[in-house]
Amino acid sequence: MERKASRRENECEEKTSNSESCELDKDYKTSLITLNVGGYLYITQKQTLTKYPDSFLEGIINGRIMCPFDADGHYFIDRDGLLFRHILNFLRNGELLLPEGFRENQLLAQEAEFFQLKVLSEAVKSRWEKEQLASRETTFLEITDSHDRSQGLRIFCNAPEFIAKIKSRIVLVSKSRLDGFPEEFSVSSNIIQFKYFIKSENGTRLVLKEDNTFVCTLETLKFEAIMMALKCGFRLLTSLDCSRGSIVHSDALHFIK
């Protein structure tokens, strides 16, 4: 009798445990929400979509806002499906994190307003304003000789990333200590200063790592800077000293996009 009673107790405990497990599994499944946004499917948790009260998504999940369903029974939202990944990442992280080179600030701000996410909308607009301000500021790079300031080049551009690109290439090549290249140099935020700069003499050369092309003299370096700028979509606004009659003889170049 005691064995039968013990067996029944074990069976009851197993049924209770299975029942609780089923309930937990059911609750977990119901907490997952699938959204069809402009033809793109996103699966996330209910708590993510309801993170910001009074938002469009919170209203849909809690029944305040009516939303159509697609053929598979998923919520359908007729908005930009690709940009929605940034909306969802904001809900997950609580901050605006965008990939490098992101240029769709205006569109994302519109999406944020549609989804009634005021915090996100303000963050996008703030980022956009900072980029607009930065694009109007001119950045320069000076490549010069510490003993002879007349030997050198100044490059001006309204895109800091382009100046950084030219700077990194010159520094990289300088560190490789190639034949004919100055061995000692110092780098500050906007100046590369060589102890003995490249002279316009036969045999002086530097190698640009992008295509392993041999580039001779300071004049050829100016041409290379111009080609890099054109490839990146910039135009030569003017050479700031054209009195010598040629771009290669000017002391500075000014690029703008």
* Tokens found for residue 45: 């948790």
Q: Tell whether 87 and 143 lie within a shared domain.
A: no
| Residue 249 lies in domain | 139-256
Instruction: Classify the phi-psi angles of 74: left when phi > 0, otherwise alpha if psi is within -120 to 50, otherwise beta.
Output: beta
Q: Tell whether 252 and 218 lie within a shared domain.
A: yes
State which of 82, 115, 134 marks the end of a domain: 134
Do the bridges between strand 152-157 and strand 139-145 make them parallel or antiparallel, or are there none, so unpaired? Answer: antiparallel
For residue range 226-250, what is the model confidence (pLDDT) as tens digits? Answer: 878 888 888 777 654 445 555 656 6
Which pLDDT band, with edges at 50, 70 and 90, does 76 fall under? very high
Is there a contact between 82 and 98 (Cβ–Cβ < 8 Å)? no
Mean pLDDT of 186-206: 60
Percent of the chain surpassing pLDDT 90 = 34
Least confident of 24-28, 57-61, 244-248: 24-28
Q: Tell whether 171 and 108 lie within a shared domain.
A: no
Q: Tell whether 249 and 150 lie within a shared domain.
A: yes
What's the total number of domains in the chain?
2
Mean pLDDT of 151-160: 77
For residue range 87-139, what is the model confidence (pLDDT) as tens digits? Answer: 999 999 999 999 877 889 999 999 999 999 999 999 999 888 877 766 655 67
* Phi, psi (degrees; rounded to nearest 5) at 119: -60, -45
